[in-house]
A and B are shown apart, each in its own frame.
Chain A
């Protein structure tokens, strides 16, 4: 276990109880009526889901940056999140979202479709450039179809529902979403964790990695599966929550020895912490309607990204 894993593990353990108590109404377990029910049925599943979603996105971002050897890479580049979003939008468009299981199911099918398309285009050769381009095209196609669905929405209600859903949130989530996401994200994080050694080898470039016996096409498959499961399941239960996969590995990297393998587990923990804290903050903010978590994280993420670019520009100049 490295220093960063320990640090984010401890912070997460401290943040979880605070997050359970935090909200528009702060909970006092001793005096608040129905405190046990509120905790067990509302706040605990929401907090657990925040950690699952954040953990999956953080690990996916760390693996993605390691694979592309680029600190600006984001798991969204693979087109899996837009694919999952498209699936969910289709469910909303046809009004299937009234049934609680159908929306996540459609989103998972969308993520699976994006993964299959990626694998069909780029999976056999395993080239990084081809793969990135294929991911961008899948993302662009899914984005265009989503925009088409919004513009041709059957009624104003469906349209606003779609737009609202696309700005991810954890409002009104229950244990059902936890049971959908937990096994998929856990499996995805384990697959990504297993790519660590190969990602370390890639530090010296693809030919060297192959000469060290790394099977680069197997690595690509593991990544598609791992990122597909983590990101696909996250979008299925929470909608699009951007920037976590980009920011978290950056925050964590200076605390590690910078080997990609050492970044995956602490990034999962830090992602869980970030989404948990961000979701608690949007609950506490005194606004008329709760700020959507996806919007809040983008509001935080975009300036962060700009600072990063400015710092990099200084470094390059």
Chain B
């Protein structure tokens, strides 16, 4: 059960690389601004065409895969809700690939994102953090095998960050694949099972978090001298 991208390249943004991701864990994509993180995520989601190579899901090419939308849930970085629709309407959009109006997955997603009582509120009127949860609930309502999210923690306060990452971890333990673009390196260090580091379009590391996000690598890629504090699972990054 793998999502793999081979020899992908995107003119001017990403160099050819190859990676094969496994379900059952959290994979973080890290790198400085402009490194190509969001592009890589969109390629994995089948939304960006590469110059060459292909993205495959369990050996089948994503480009021709009918069930892609059911199996991959994608959450972009910039939240957009065009009309003044209710929270429930937004979450229900997650069922579009299934062409059904199943209520159980919608209720489960609303509960999982701590949105009970918000169902009939207007999504546009919610705070940024609340909207982020609504939009993630939309992804969960589609019950995808893979969750591909671009900076899902960016707009959240620390409490909701912990709750969300805890929830994504549970989803991963339950056998889903979770791929997150993360700016917060401590989040990636503490919660990811695997980290891909991108630097100016090159994939410079693909390893466990301790190796991929070593102080030496951070100095090399981000150009900042840092050291890790604390114990495994609860590390914090300090300027050296």
Partner of B72, one of A69, A200, A211, A258: A211
B88 to A, closest residue via Cβ: A257
Q: How far is A99 from B111 in the complex, measured between Cα atoms in Å?
A: 66
Question: Interface residue count for B (Cβ, 8 Å)?
Answer: 29
A214 close to B (CB within 8 Å)? yes
Interface size on A, residues (CB 8 A): 19
**Known contacts A204-B90, A205-B76, A213 near B85 by CB under 8 Å:** no
- In the complex, chain B residues 85-103 whose Cβ is within 8 Å of any chain A Cβ: 85-86, 89-90, 93-94, 96-97
A202 to B80, CA, bound (A): 10
Q: Is A210 an interface residue (CB 8 A)?
A: yes
A90 to B4 alpha-carbon distance, docked (Å)? 58
Chain B, interface SS category: mixed
Contact of A208 with B74 at beta-carbon distance under 8 Å, contacts A69-B83, A214-B96 already known: yes
> What residues of B have a CB within 8 angstroms of the CB of A200 in the complex?
89, 93, 96
Q: Which residue of B lies closest to A207 (CB)?
A: B76
Chain A residue nearest in CB terms to B67: A213
A-B interface pairs (CB < 8 A), number: 65
Given contacts A200-B93, A201-B93, contact A258 B47 (CB under 8 A): no
Chain A CB within 10 Å — which of B69, B83, B90 has the most?
Answer: B83
Residues from chain B with a CB closer than 8 A to the CB of A208 are 74-76, 80
A212 within 8 A of B: yes
Contacts known (A200-B93, A200-B96); A211 close to B73, Cβ less than 8 A:
yes
Q: Which of B16-61 contact A (CB under 8 A)?
A: 42, 45-47
Q: Does A124 contact B (CB under 8 A)?
A: no
Report Cα–Cα, A207/B86, bound state, in Å: 21
Is A176 interfacial (CB-CB < 8 Å)? no
Which residues, 256 to 284 on A, are CB-close (under 8 Å) to B?
A: 257-260
Select one of B69, B75, B93 contacting A203, CB under 8 A. B93
Please give, as numbers and ranges, the residues of chain B lying within 8 Å of A259 by CB-CB distance: 83, 85, 89
Contacts A201-B96, A259-B89 aside, 19 further interface pairs with beta carbons under 8 A come to: A203-B83, A203-B90, A204-B135, A205-B80, A205-B82, A207-B42, A208-B74, A208-B75, A208-B76, A211-B46, A211-B72, A211-B73, A212-B96, A212-B97, A214-B96, A257-B86, A258-B83, A258-B85, A259-B85
Which B residues have a C-beta under 8 Å from some C-beta of A? Answer: 42, 45-47, 68-70, 72-76, 78, 80-86, 89-90, 93-94, 96-97, 135, 138, 142
Please list the residues of chain A having a beta carbon within 8 angstroms of any beta carbon in chain B: 69, 197, 200-205, 207-208, 210-214, 257-260
